[in-house]
Amino acid sequence: MKSKNKGLIGVSAEAKNRIEELSKQITAWNKAYYELNQSEVSDQVYDAAYRELIDLETKYPEYKKLNSPTQSVGHQIQTNKQNNKVEHSRQMLSLENAYNFNELETWLKRFKGEEKDFVCELKIDGLSISLLYEDGHFIKAITRGDGFIGEDVTANVRTIKTLPLEIAYKQPLEVRGEIFMSYSVFKTLDGFANPRNAAAGSLKLLDTNLCAQRHLSIFIYETFKQSAQSHFDNLEFLKTLGFPINPANRFCSGLQQLKDFCLEYDEKRKQLDYPTDGIVIKLDSLAFQRELGATNKYPRWAIAYKFSAEETETQIIDIKLEIGRTGALTPTAHLRPVQLAGTTVSKASLHNADQIKNLDVRIGDFVLVRKAGEIIPEIVKILPEKRPENTQVFEYPNYCPSCGSELEQKEKEVIIRCPNILACPAQIQRKIEHWAGKQAMDIHGLGTAIVEQLIENNLIKDVADLYTLNLEAILALDGFKEKSAQNLIMAIQNSKNRSLARLIYGLGIRHTGFNSAKLLAQNYNSLLELSKASPEELCNIEGIGEITAQEINKFFAEPSNLALIEKLQKAEIQTEYKITESQIFGKFMGKSFVITGTFEISRENIQETIEKAGGKVVSAISAKTNYLVCGEKAGSKLEKAQKLNIQILSFDDLEQLII
């Protein structure tokens, strides 16, 4: 008997140690996720540890601490001078998870076999936000934080174009939603592990103009309206006010209908342009929701069915440094090819030197790989128990592997760069590849292998040299015959007349993506005119932030860039806003338009209508603006136009003017 008691004491002590160990680890993971926007482990690893802690605390309640991570939502946030702490009027809860249909069925049994109506919605992988409106005006945005206190991020949330700043509802209103970044926007950024991290980092930027350039999106999923009878009615009410509601929602009753919806979107999510990691299932009846209530962490009337994030094991066979067009060195892990989410993966970005150091990634390591946001392969963690003997810590070089220049790292930057912008072969190649890309000059057939040959044979040193190539030079390259050589020459020559927006984007100015290039082309008639713009003037363009303005100014102050533009002009590249004959004689010739609000047709179609009649569409209202084309839910631009006595047109008015 004494021996048995001794054994029980040993088990109890072991449980206490394990609870302390798990609590410490989960708290650290929470801190990284909610405060630093870094996912140190996969959802599966986190949830397995979290469940183990719950089981142990249930079995050994005497060791459960008041500050256990199972008793809180998220993590206590850190604030800066701009983002102040704000207390939520009602706690922002998390959601209980189900990872398979057995767990979902167990959850349904809580309702004692009664057939209830549920609303199924996509679970967007972003950041929860609370939005406050008073007298029909948006006044405040608060992050979830620890569920009780969040950060005030109102200024940055105002930059989300799909969010109405004014609504036709004068009573105080709180709505909640999820802020996210689309895959198409995420692809244009560097330095982020996944769309969620990019969205979180963007929302905390001190420069709201830079945040606006990140093109964040939002879906609203909840409001608190006392007169409503059902959750679905609330969603319909929010739609009428102009809030963006995710269209993928459905009434379901019983396990089979819930399973059908989950299976349907487990497949459909692969075609969506935004990250979703599961299905949120909510009881539709608000009265029954209130009756069930919540724990201190979860509502009892809702659950999240989580899609399984596909991960697989492979081995790193090499780590190579790739040099971008701006000289940034990006480490890439070369992997033993493995099937992942329907594709063969042989590479994974390691982002920067800090990530290599934090993960302690080495050549030869066995690792878990997953697709971040179902798109970009990333290394989740190494498997130290499988590490081969004699592996070496990976060290960054001191000199550029392409040109031998000493590498540089500016203060407060994590990126290491090669400063040799004029003669580094790798940078030259990336700049030319960018110039030839579809969104830039769209030179069909000018791929990586051909650009590499052109540089190695000293046929080109910059993008302007492309336009001096002749048939004989192309035929001397590997793999070319007369027809293919003629096609490439023709594709290069045809690129001379691309739009000004494509040309600006093709120049590869730092922090100037294609959307920014379009804004610049709308506001300036030529590269020469753009080159003379001051940073202050550029910042007056809605959508151009201070950092982008400074980089544009810096680009045109660089003598080598001015020399390149002169070479492009000599090669007869179109560097001015090109006006067609129909535009010259159009009714809107010389007239400036701004478009605001929502329309039944796309803004692109409205812009095309104006431009075909000779007009020009710009982004910002000024005294030089001739017309404001105004749709529904117009905001500050309408007020400014009225103050400046600018003529305001509906789309019907616009069409009548053209006739």
- The DSSP annotation for 133-178 comes to EETTEEEEEEE-TTSSEEEB-HHHHTT-TTS-SB-S--S-EEEEEE
Kindly state whether residue 360 falls inside one of the protein's structural domains.
Answer: yes
Residue with tokens 């949330």: 157
Structural contact between residues 515 and 505, judged by C-beta atoms closer than 8 angstroms: no
**pTM for this model (two decimals):** 0.49
The pLDDT value recorded for residue 68 is 75
Q: By the 8 A CB rule, do 340 and 369 touch? A: yes
* Separation between Cα atoms, residue 22 and residue 26, nearest integer Å: 6
**Confidence at residue 435, expressed as pLDDT on a 0 to 100 scale:** 96
Check whether 394 has a pLDDT greater than 70: yes
Burial 51-77 (b: 16+ CB within 10 A, else e): eebeebbeeeeebbeeebbbebbbbeb
Is 465 in the same domain as 331? no
Residues 527 and 627 in one domain: no
pLDDT at 344 (0 to 100):
75
What is the CATH classification number for the domain harbouring 652?
3.40.50.10190
Q: Domain check: are 233 and 147 in the same one?
A: yes
289-322 pLDDT per residue, tens: 888 888 778 899 999 998 876 778 899 999 999 9
417: in domain? no
Beta bridge partners of 377: 371
232 phi-psi bin (left φ>0, alpha ψ -120 to 50, beta other): alpha
One domain for residues 150 and 294? yes
| Listed residue (353, 345, 351, 354) closest to 375, CA to CA | 345
- Answer yes or no: is pLDDT of 4 > 50: no
- 209 in the same domain as 96: yes
Six-digit token pair at 220? Answer: 């609203």
pLDDT of residue 67: 64
The model's pLDDT over 414-429, given as tens digits with 9 standing for 90+, comes to: 889 999 988 999 999 9
pLDDT at 181: 93
Q: For residue range 5-42, list pLDDT tens digits in order.
A: 434 445 567 778 888 888 888 877 776 665 555 556 66
Handedness of CA 510, 513, 519, 523 (dihedral sign): positive
- Which range is least confidently modeled, 42-46, 354-358, 588-592? 42-46
Q: Are 198 and 192 in contact (CB under 8 A)?
A: yes
411 found inside a domain: no
| Calculated CA dihedral for residues 541, 546, 550, 556, nearest 10 degrees | -10
Alpha helices in 165-295 (DSSP H): 183-186, 195-203, 208-213, 231-240, 254-268, 286-292
**CATH at residue 55:** 1.10.287.610
Mean pLDDT of 146-153: 86
In a domain, 392, yes or no: no
Regarding whether 376 and 301 lie in a shared domain, the answer is no
SS3 category, 630: strand
604 has pLDDT over 70: no
Which of these three, 359, 386, 413, is where a domain ends?
386
Per-residue pLDDT at 11: 58
- For residue 82, CA distances in Å to 35, 72, 337 come to 16, 25, 46
Task: Judge if 158 and 211 occupy the same domain.
Answer: yes
pLDDT band with cut points at 50, 70 and 90 for residue 119 = very high
Would you state the pLDDT for residue 566? 94
Q: Tell me whether strands 85-87 and 276-283 are parallel, antiparallel or unpaired.
A: unpaired
Q: What are phi and psi of 97, to 5 degrees?
A: -110, 145
Q: Is there a single domain that holds both residue 169 and residue 269? A: yes
Short-list 312, 310, 290, 311, CA closest to 301: 290
**Among the ranges given (7-21, 113-127, 244-258), the one the predictor scored with the smallest mean pLDDT:** 7-21
Q: Which of 4, 59, 81, 123 is catalytic?
A: 123
Rounded distance between C-alpha atoms, residue 114 and residue 301, angstroms: 14
pLDDT, position 90: 85
When comparing pLDDT for 45 and 187, which is higher? 187
Is residue 123 annotated as part of the catalytic site, yes or no? Answer: yes
Are 50 and 70 in contact by the 8 Å Cβ rule? The answer is yes
- Is the CB of residue 212 less than 8 Å from the CB of residue 159? yes
- Packing angle of the helix pair 546-557, 559-570 (nearest 10 deg): 70
Quote the number of domains for the chain.
5
Is the confidence at residue 583, as pLDDT, over 60? no
Answer yes or no: is 404 within a domain. no
**pLDDT tens column, 434-483:** 999 988 898 989 999 999 999 999 999 999 999 999 999 999 999 899 99
Same structural domain for residues 205 and 293?
Answer: yes
- What is the CB-side half-sphere exposure of residue 13 using CA atoms within 13 A? 6
pLDDT of 617 > 90? The answer is no
Q: What is the mean pLDDT of residues 621-649?
A: 87
The answer to whether residue 644 scores a pLDDT higher than 60 is yes
Look up the CATH number of the domain holding residue 152: 3.30.470.30
Crossing angle of helices 43-59 and 2-30, in 10° steps, is 140
* Span 550-575, average pLDDT: 93
Under the banding of pLDDT at 50, 70 and 90, the label for residue 72 is low
- Are residues 302 and 367 both part of a single domain? no
Average pLDDT score over the chain: 85
pLDDT-derived band at 43, boundaries 50, 70, 90: low
Tokens found for residue 399? 């000199």
Q: Name residues whose C-beta falls within 8 Å of residue 382's C-beta, 6 or more positions apart in sequence.
A: 359, 360, 361, 362, 365, 366, 367
- Residues pairing with 127 in the sheet: 179
Domain closes at, from 551, 570, 589: 570
Taking alpha carbons only, the member of 161, 132, 154, 136 closest to residue 241 is: 136
Inform me whether the pLDDT recorded for 609 exceeds 50.
yes
Query: CA-to-CA distance for 248 and 315, rounded, in angstroms?
Result: 38
Least confident of 59-73, 99-113, 156-170, 375-389: 59-73
Both tokens assigned to 5: 């008691």
112 and 234 in a common domain: yes
Looking at residue 497, which CATH number applies to its domain? Answer: 1.10.150.20
Domain final residue pick, 247, 280, 306: 306
Length of the chain: 659
Longest dimension (CA), the chain: 104
Tokens of 610: 């104006």
Output phi, psi for 337, to 5 deg. -55, 135
Mean pLDDT, residues 38-49:
64
Average pLDDT over residues 374-387: 82
DSSP secondary structure string for all residues of 462-493: SGGGGGG--HHHHHTSTT--HHHHHHHHHHHH
Percent of the chain scoring above 70 in pLDDT: 89
- Decide: 158 and 216 in contact? Cβ < 8 Å: no
Q: Tell me, what CATH number does 366's domain have?
A: 2.40.50.140
**How far, in Å, CA of 36 to CA of 24, rounded?**
17
Whether 79 is in a domain gets the answer no
- Quick check: is 66 in a domain? yes
For 600, the domain range is: 581-658
Residue 33 is given by DSSP the state I
429 and 562 share a domain?
A: yes
Q: Which of 49-53, 271-275, 419-423, 446-450 has the lowest mean pLDDT?
A: 49-53
- Has residue 416 been placed in a domain? no
Asked if residues 194 and 378 have their Cβ atoms less than 8 Å apart, the reply is: yes
